[in-house]
Structure 1
Amino acid sequence: MDSSTDQLERSLLIATLDSLDTPHHLGPAIASAAAKSSETLVIALLSPLFELRHVQQGSQDVLARTGKSLVTPISRTDRWDDVQQLLTYVYVQATKVAQDNGRILMDVTVLLRGCEQPLPADLADGMDICFLVQGDNNIPSLPLSIRTLPQTVLPSGNRVSIVAAPDPSQSSVEALYPVVALGGTFDHLHAGHKILLSMGAWITERKLIVGVTDDLLLRKKTHRDLLEPFSVRVEKSRSFLQLFRSDLEYELAALTDVYGPTGWDPDIQALVVSKETLPGAAAIGKERARKSLPALQTFVIDVISPDSEKLDHEDAELLRQTKMSSTFIREWIAKNHDVEKNANT
């Protein structure tokens, strides 16, 4: 294996997790991989905790093996906060490094996979390198296309090995919901969007409905001329979701009002929103009640909010320094376009 590498365009980082604790030990490897990548970084986190199988009770427990330890797949809704915090940490670590290096448009993607869910063979397509993490000896069998990529081992922080074995869930919340809905603009798809989409797919059993704001509702946005067309925003969102979980059905619909399909579809059981869009969730609840539609279980993405209390001080400060905003991206594009224009005149 190579011990060093020059600047690369497209990189893959693979690491394993044995708990849902914030993976601070991966911080150095994530930062190094992000610094070495100029266009794309895909981070694949593998763990038995991410298996898609339902947790059974008593003697029917489904166990997955990691090294010498047996780990039970988790209830995806019970560990909602842990998973969104984990995703946020990884995205922020990589995105902050990319932004510090002026690579505002660098594409960072984080995948969560069970050890028995093989990574897609085409994930290696166009990749320049596969990064691994020092001391990570639990990597499961990888597709040949990934195994034959050039490999570099990156340094790790102190790894605390805690095998998570959560107690059987006593929650009244379902482990997965058949049909889940969420919405957003998804312009210049960034880490904040991907966390929202990932968490929606995370708790879905069969179908995820994604409302994508129609072009007509975006006329007052800053730098409107730099907004991606509706078709582009839909395609990028769909491509990301297919990579994150290819087993689900995805319906991407135009949002022309606050409700979208949640305003009329009785076959939706759960809604995923950000903390900032909670008023929209309340409006949807009232509309469904008015139409005698079943109430929705609401799940909130609140870790990425500026005033989040779910991150420790250092992680919260790093989040505040990291700009996960379509407006910021459009402003950056406009500024750089002006600089290039002035340089050519």
Structure 2
Amino acid sequence: MPSSLTTGILVLASLPSLSTPQFLAPIIVSAANAASSRLRIILFSHLFDPDAISHTQNWDNVQRLLTYVYVQATKIAQDKDNPLLQIDVLLKGLNAQEALPENIGEGCEVVYRVSGDAIVAALPHALLELSHRYVAAGSNEGRTTPEASEKVNVPSMLPVVALGGTFDHLHAGHKILLSMAAWITSRKVIVGVTDDTLLKSKSNAHVLESLDTRRTNVRDFLELFKPGLEYDIVTINDVYGPTGWDPDIQGLVVSRETINGAEMISTHREKEQLPKLSVFIIDVISHTSSNITEDDLSLMRQTKMSSTHIRNWIAMHEKQHYQPQIQQVDGESKPVERGQVGWISSQDA
């Protein structure tokens, strides 16, 4: 990596509303360009305080906000050919209950702030000791104005919410899905992680993360995003998972592309006389979504937020950087086959 890059960058910014934060574009771009391994963005607002607003009624506003920030950062990572950059976007309130843990900046060397932004939340002493850089705010022209959801007779949060997926090489799309599930949950989030046996036909399956790794990464992110909830990370071997039998689930979070699975679950639960689920759709991460501006939609088409793209990238670089050791077979020098002991990567050397 060039010497101008910093391993980890932390961005701190306050939001006056749930409008699309276009004024943050310059600081996100600057921070993403400077980061090499980790970019953690923490957004503060009184709207994120407990009970400040209805979480379900503001479903669309919050997912649009998260998607905008993730897309800006992910696009820079793609431009730098660094799809493995770990990007986390966290939402924090301003009251004492939302105090940041002392280790929130772990792995980060520099803090980026918006010029003139006086964050009223108490910041850990460790963050104040880091180097700070200030970036001027951008324009908010053309921002999307928040609107209340049309969901009626739905409480602000649901006790138990479920979702599922492969969660291979956890990326921005996954994190939006997980974040929104935690956003509307008051007690427990159930995450079904697809078993290894169902993923053998995936492209570049040899670089798929193990089930244990995928489950651990999901838990670690959720506990970072919203500590205090119960997280049940389970292995699933079918489309239903716990939603196929658990009566103590009230909500289901799906992406627009997996809405058919939600319909199958609904039919199955009705047949089994299980309580009906409120379905929440992550729409803005779809490349054909009408929920974001045309400029953002164009950015999303350029931003490859998919495990398939990441596996393809890893496989391509694996071919470029792996050096086969030579072994003697029947008196002849032959390379050790991939997957055997003897392959040495540039990362292991």
Report the TM-score when normalising by structure 1.
Answer: 0.89
Task: State the distance in 2 between where 1:291 and 1:121 align.
Answer: 47
* Alpha-carbon distance in structure 1 between the residues aligned to 2:87 and 2:296: 18
Which of 76, 88, 108 is the matching residue for 2:87? Answer: 108
Q: Which of 133, 141, 164 is the matching residue for 1:183? A: 164
Comparing 131-140 with 227-236, greater Cα deviation is found at 131-140
Tell me the equivalent position of 1:199: 180
**In structure 2, do the counterparts of structure 1 residues 8 and 174 end up closer, same or farther at CA, with 3 Å as the change threshold?**
same
Provide, for residues 249-290 of structure 1, a one-character-per-residue CA deviation record: whole Å limited to 9, x for no partner: 000000110000000000000000000111100110111111
Whether 2:305 is the aligned partner of 1:307: answer no
Q: Distance in 1 between matches of 2:120 and 2:76?
A: 25
Q: State the partner residue of 1:11.
A: 9
2:277 to 289, 296, 302: 296
Contact (CA 8 Å) 2:38, 2:107: kept in 1 or not?
Answer: no
2-structure distance, mates of 1:207, 1:271 = 12
Alpha-carbon distance change, 166 to 290 in structure 1, aligned in 2, over 3 angstroms = closer
**How far is the alpha carbon of 1:6 from its aligned partner?**
3.6
Letter in 2 for 1:113: K
Could you tell me which amino acid in structure 2 is paired with residue 115 of structure 1? L
Equivalents in 1 of 2:134, 2:58: separation in Å?
30
Within-5 A mapping of 1:8-157: 8-52=6-50, 54=51, 73-116=52-95, 117-157=98-138
| Equivalent-residue separation in structure 2 for 1:141 and 1:257 (angstroms) | 45
Q: Are residues 220 and 286 of structure 1, via their aligned partners in 2, closer, same or farther at CA, if it must alter by over 3 Å?
A: same
1:26–1:220 CA distance, 2 compared to 1 (3 A): same
Q: Tell me: CA distance 1:342–1:180, structure 2 relative to 1, closer, same or farther (3 Å).
A: same
Instruction: Please give the alpha-carbon distance, in whole angstroms, between the structure 2 residues aligned to 1:225 and 1:196.
Output: 25
User: How many Å separate the matches in 1 of 2:274 and 2:177?
Assistant: 24
- Residue 189 of structure 2 corresponds to 208
**Structure 2: how far apart are the matches of 1:156 and 1:6?**
23
Identity of aligned residues (%): 48
Query: Mind listing any 5+ residue stretches in structure 1 that lack a counterpart?
Result: 55-72
Amino acid at match of 2:19: D
Once the two structures are superposed, residues 72-117 of structure 1 have per-residue CA deviations (whole angstroms, 9 ceiling, x without a partner) of x210000100100000000000010011011110000000011111
In structure 2, C-alpha distance between the alignment counterparts of 1:168 and 1:255, rounded to whole Å? 31
Q: 1:168 to 1:194 in 2, by over 3 A?
A: closer
Cα distance in structure 1, aligned partners of 2:34 and 2:149: 42
Whole-Å Cα distance in 1 between the matches of residues 220 and 149 of structure 2?
A: 35
Which stretch has the larger CA shift, 128-137 or 239-248?
Answer: 128-137
SS of the aligned residue for 1:94 comes to helix
- Rounded to whole Å, the distance in 2 between the matches of 1:114 and 1:142 is 12
CA contact (8 A) 1:74 1:166 kept: no
SS in 1 for 2:103: helix
Corresponding residue pairs, total? 320
Rate the CA distance shift 1:182–1:168 in 2: closer, same or farther, 3 A: closer
Runs of 4+ in 1 over 4 A off after TM superposition: 164-170, 342-345
Which amino acid is 1:10 matched to?
G
The residue matched to 1:266 in structure 2 has which SS? coil
Q: Is the 8 A contact 2:25 2:138 kept in 1?
A: yes
Find the partner of 1:274 among 234, 237, 255. 255
Distance 1:318 1:48, change over 3 A: same
